[in-house]
Amino acid sequence: MRPAAALRDRPRGRLALMLLLGLLLPGRDSARGAEGPIALREVSEATGIAFVHTDGGSGARYIMETVTAGLATFDFDGDGLIDIYFLNGAPLRGASFDPEDPPKNRLYRNNGDWTFTEVTEEAGVGDTGYGLGVVVGDYNNNGLPDIFVNNFGGYVLYRNNGDGTFTEVSRAAGLVGEPQAVGAGACFLDADGDGTLDLFVSSYLDFTYETHIHNVWMGYHVYPGPDHYPPTADRFFRNNGDGTFTDASVESGIAAALGRGMGTVCADFNNNGHTDILVANDSSPNFLFENDGRGAFREVGLESGVAFDLYGSIHGSMGIECGDYDNDGWLDFYQTSYQGQLGVLYRNLGGTLLEDVTMSTGAGAGTLPHVTWGVGLIDFDNDGHRDLYIACGHLYDNVDLFSDATSYRVRNILLRNDGRGRFLDVSDRSGDGLLPELSSRGAAFDDLDNSGRIDVVVLNSRSPPTVLRNESPGGHHWLQVELEGTRTNRDGVGARVTVAAGDLVQVAEVHAGRSYQSHYGTRLHFGLGRRDHVDRIEVRWIGGDVEVFESPGVDRLIKLREGTGSGPM
Amino acid sequence: MRKGDKHSGRGQGDDSLARAPRRRRVAALAVLVAAALAALVLTRVWPGSQGRGDSPEWTEQEAAIQEALRARPFQPDATADELRDEAVGTVAALAAAYPEEVEALALAAHVYTRLGSHDRAAALWRSCIEIAPRFANAHFQLGRVLRQQGDLDEAAARLEEVVRLEPAHPGAPPLLADALMQLGRAEDAVAMLERHHEHHPGSDRSLLALGQAQLQAGRTEEAGETFAQLVAAFPADARGYYGLARVYARQGESAQSREHMEAFRELGAVDFHGRADEIRTYDDAANLRRLLGQALMDAGIVYGQQQDLAGAELAWRKAAALDAEEVASRRALLLLYEEQGREEKALAVCEELARLEPENPTHWLNLALLNGRLQRAEAALSAIERALELEPQSPKIREIHDMIREGM
């Protein structure tokens, strides 16, 4: 029996006891099975998170079942601890569920001791729609993070009331959505530099029960694919600054491009101070919407190199992540893909070309047999180089019947950045956190215990989530940065932070919405390796103003308020 | 005899199976069948001393075949499940019957690969290699399976063996280059492809792979030359323009890059609506019916090679029953029945062939000969006259036409 299967088959109570004993054993300060510099321990059971995802399926195999769902990690109540919001599916036609307790999204408050308390009802965020994508952002600039959910069948906007509760304001804000739209990822961005967050909503396809395709492959009833449906346009909503949005999809140029949007991330790919939009499209070329700074976009995916892989092939793109993996000051991108295709690392060659460097970097290692979803370019061992975590799992629940190359439930992948341009597959020596075999979708990465090490939360289709505690050894230093905009948007979304520590210079941007239909990482994290001080922190706010801040030290979270730094030197 | 001895000499010159893809082998058999029939018609017009007709010795076998053909997979409304299971059953039985025969194992491996059973396929390809170490196609197919399973090291080793055994293999170098690049060995990929290109120029796939490998190895200028060569040789191939565009972008030549990206866009444009329509009309059962038919056709060849003529007949009869329009299995059956002297059966098959390919004079010629042997002079004359209509200048047809007329 494979280790993960053995683990799953044990009674839950016994597993919890074993985990507890493991925690108490002397000298065991890293995850079991970890032999390398990264150690991720599986702590899901002990967190008290009882959420179990459903895809709402009835056996009819509707396409949206395959792509649900994302999750968000953010500090909803301002207590300094990162909380978790899971999206959930909803009963589709023919599915039977307890009407007294329908599937819903769930919010878990972080207790600070690796346990979480469900606060869905108190917070009022238990949407029972069919959840797909989520993004968190302070759309009304009141210092409180709000939640936007992109469902099949419409949008949901939760305004944070600041007292631990939210109010659903979708219609009042002008965010309704279309009943037939199967949503996907979403991002907040300040596209026009007016200091408020606009909203980009990725659209997968349009679906009605009447257009459902009964698909059969090799004699087995399988889900239809995106190619069964025509491509559709993504949507862009301009923030009016009064708590409402206006649909500007057409005038912004977004609606001119048709694709099958999945994950999306907004980032300044050419470092011109304006936030651009990247969309991972399933079975159609990826988009890169270049922003002219006034919120008008031109689709430049093809000429920038991100539309296709190095062979010029279309991918079944799923998630897309952003981060400077080689510390050259330019934001790179990683796109997850369908079975038989490598996950693709696009290296940013100075803002003109995103070059597929998957092969030369080894960034696709282990991905070829699997469908890959959530992805994080995260420095797990704080050595100053971003590693890769890739969530995997086939979308056909019965794929094992007709392919032994992959499985519905598989292990996720961890690739360590060696700092010399190569990624090494360390999935087998990075702790028991890499053992679970599940069908993962969204993945989020944040420091759940404020330890200075980035932890992992994974939403698994039809299963409980996975929570991985980062127990990587190494004694490396780190710095976390949280921005507060005053003239620009409150969370500093789109701002670029450069941290210089000796020979190590890193950049990161604040993103709202990323990877596979998820949100995480509002606090920027910088691993510093053995460097025990930071020489300089530079923030370029949206609009181009640059400020320099002194770091009070390392191994801490610092909050930088716009207007309190000095001018650039 | 040592296990691999029988096939160890293959791969250099006498290994048509090893060198030829499966479809080509089938085509080769069809040619053989046609050639044999053509030779046959010239030698025997009237009943010969060897003619056995449909004697009682065939009755039992025919009953068994009829029983087999009543099974669900051979009914017009057979489900995909039934067709898939029959395909698996066919090749599993063949591999079990001939575990030392690479032809049987290779056929089973092909079918397992198509059905997603990569582990089984890999095991069978390994057995093939054990039996016939110079069986290049087995190394190639195993390399493909291993690459798909993510075992890049062994995939590269298998594909390197293909290149060594069969330097002109068209598929192995690009696939090997891909595996080497994934392993971070772009320079090795470049060296291998340059060697291949030097000895076997003119392949779009190897040129494309060489350009990609050069790009991966950081040899931008050389990559540009290679892609330019590709575009010059294959101006309708979108991928060359894409490669050139990437080269120009890397060199900072934005205008040139955009121009070539536009060419790529125009040539490689995907009609998503057309694709959706195409996918909607995909018929899984028809796809599996084709797979089963091909497996049965090939299984019949293997049975025939092993002198199991009953097995061959059953396989080809099943293939013919699956598809009322299919020709190859009927040609094979015609040859088989002719060999066995079962002229009534041969005549029935020949009538089907004439129905399927009414413009083919060979079928009418054969019909004339078979009717002649069965003393059906009117039918023989009618058939040969049709053959003559179709090919009036043929001395062979004219000769037989005269013989039939004289014999009436």
ipTM of the complex: 0.81
- Contact call for A314 and B270, based on CB within 8 A: yes
pLDDT at residue A6, rounded to an integer? 34
Secondary element (H or E) of residue B242: helix B238-250
Give the C-alpha separation, A103 to A122, whole Å: 17
* Window A:296-335, CB contacts with B under 8 Å: 302-303, 305, 308, 310-312, 314
- β strands within A194-336, DSSP E: 198-206, 215-217, 220-222, 232-233, 235-239, 245-247, 258-259, 261-267, 276-281, 287-291, 297-299, 320-323, 332-335
User: Is 80 exceeded by the pLDDT of residue B248?
Assistant: yes
Q: How far is B158 from chain A (nearest CA, A)?
A: 18
pLDDT in tens, B358-375: 999 999 999 999 998 888
pLDDT at residue A404, rounded to an integer? 87
Give the C-alpha separation, A551 to A533, whole Å: 8
pLDDT at residue A240, rounded to an integer? 98
Q: Name residue A16's amino acid.
A: A
User: Is 80 exceeded by the pLDDT of residue B169?
Assistant: yes
pTM for this one?
Answer: 0.87
Angle between helix B204-216 and helix B238-250 axes, rounded to 10 deg? 20
User: Is 70 exceeded by the pLDDT of residue A453?
Assistant: yes
User: Is 80 exceeded by the pLDDT of residue B17?
Assistant: no
User: Is 70 exceeded by the pLDDT of residue B234?
Assistant: yes
Phi-psi group of A154: left, alpha or beta (phi > 0 → left; psi -120 to 50 → alpha; rest → beta): left
> What's the mean pLDDT in A188-195?
97
User: Is 70 exceeded by the pLDDT of residue B38?
Assistant: no
Percent of chain B with pLDDT over 70: 84
pLDDT in tens, A281-336: 999 999 999 999 999 999 999 989 999 999 889 999 999 999 999 999 999 999 99
More confident residue, A8 or A242: A242
Preceding amide of A69 cis, omega within 30:
yes
pLDDT band at B339 (very low <50, low <70, confident <90, very high): confident
pLDDT band at A568 (very low <50, low <70, confident <90, very high): low
pLDDT at residue B55, rounded to an integer? 66
- Contact call for A305 and B249, based on CB within 8 A: yes
Provide the H-helix boundaries in A90-205.
Answer: 120-123, 170-173
Helix (H, G, I), strand (E, B), or coil: what is residue B238? helix
Sheet holding A40-42, edge to edge: A40-42, A466-470, A455-460, A440-446
Of B116, B270, B272, the CB nearest to A218: B116
pLDDT at residue B408, rounded to an integer? 66
Q: Is B144 on the interface with A (CB under 8 A)?
A: no
User: Is 70 exceeded by the pLDDT of residue B99?
Assistant: yes
Of B80, B252, B279, the CB nearest to A227: B279
- Contact call for B182 and A364, based on CB within 8 A: yes
pLDDT band at A10 (very low <50, low <70, confident <90, very high): very low
Question: How many residue pairs from chains A and B have C-beta atoms closer than 8 A?
Answer: 114
Paired tokens of B71: 């099974």
pLDDT at residue A446, rounded to an integer? 98
Q: Is A400 on the interface with B (CB under 8 A)?
A: no
Percent of chain A with pLDDT over 70: 94
Contacts of A467 by beta carbon, 8 Å cutoff, 6+ apart: A42, A43, A44, A47, A49, A448, A455, A456, A457, A458
